[in-house]
Chain A
């Protein structure tokens, strides 16, 4: 199971930190990805972090503004989102990522981030 939290309403330029707490599997064995869905839109992969934190990757739309980290001891993955923009408004999901050329599953139910002045 994965449970996201930390969403909310913020103004453009502000920051938020999302958390993803996992249970039922050993977090240290898996990649975790963050995926978002804008209102009325489709799914967009935005970031992943490898099982050992040795490697992270980001979509161009968030690179330089978002940072993903993990604390395996706390069974948690975090997404620090800085300099938020109106077009970052979305529901943010975390998902277990099977790794290179893999798939996402299971997913959390998501947390809603709204960026508005």
Chain B
């Protein structure tokens, strides 16, 4: 199975901060890497697909990049509604796998 390692596992940030989360794959997954936002009690929400494509309706402050084994999700100018847990997910190989999550908390 392809392992995805996210870092950090949690972070504290303030409204207006720029935050970057990394996701490292255990093997080359080209650009088949997606990002989701999840708030407690809510449905997870697709943010970025195929490494860098922003899903329709997602604010432009979210961006993604990377290829091969190293990927990033960046949130420019954090808003109060961005405090949540973020997951990466690979679709290069079966079984589909997720990273362990990064929880962004309010400083």
1/0 contact string of B41-80 vs chain A (CB within 8 Å): 1111110011000010000000000000000000000000
25 A-B residue contacts at CB 8 Å?
A33-B96, A42-B87, A42-B98, A42-B101, A43-B36, A43-B38, A43-B87, A43-B89, A45-B89, A59-B95, A60-B95, A93-B44, A102-B49, A103-B34, A103-B50, A103-B89, A104-B44, A104-B46, A106-B43, A106-B45, A107-B43, A107-B46, A109-B42, A109-B43, A110-B43
Known pairs A43-B44, A103-B89, A103-B91 / 17 extra A-B pairs, C-beta < 8 Å: A2-B43, A42-B100, A43-B36, A43-B38, A43-B98, A45-B89, A45-B97, A101-B91, A101-B92, A102-B49, A104-B36, A104-B44, A105-B36, A105-B45, A106-B46, A107-B44, A110-B43
User: What is the minimal beta-carbon distance from B30 to any residue of chain A, in angstroms?
Assistant: 9
